[in-house]
Amino acid sequence: ITVGLAVGLVIGGLWLLWTGLRVRSDGIECGTLTTAECDLELEIAMQFSRTQIGLGLGLSLLGIGGLLWQSIEDRRRRRPPKEA
């Protein structure tokens, strides 16, 4: 169960990170908006993408940490007990 949770965190975090970076690199399509409306939409999108990038990075790192922890715990359990 722990591995599935950690993998889900990594995948979800990478998706958020990719979405935020895509908005940063591609911008937004203004279409029929006026210049002022387009500037406002762009500012909102950039701020939101910054939040997505931060949260995506955090979730990904949390998932990777969970996978590392699980790997270390599995190795510790497989090791034979030390004799005194």
Are 30 and 38 in contact by the 8 Å Cβ rule? The answer is yes
**pTM of this prediction?**
0.78
**Sign, Cα dihedral of 75, 77, 80, 84:** positive
Distances (CA, A) of 24 to 17, 45, 83, 84: 11, 8, 58, 59
pLDDT per position as a tens digit, 36-48: 999 999 999 999 9
pLDDT per position as a tens digit, 66-75: 999 998 888 8
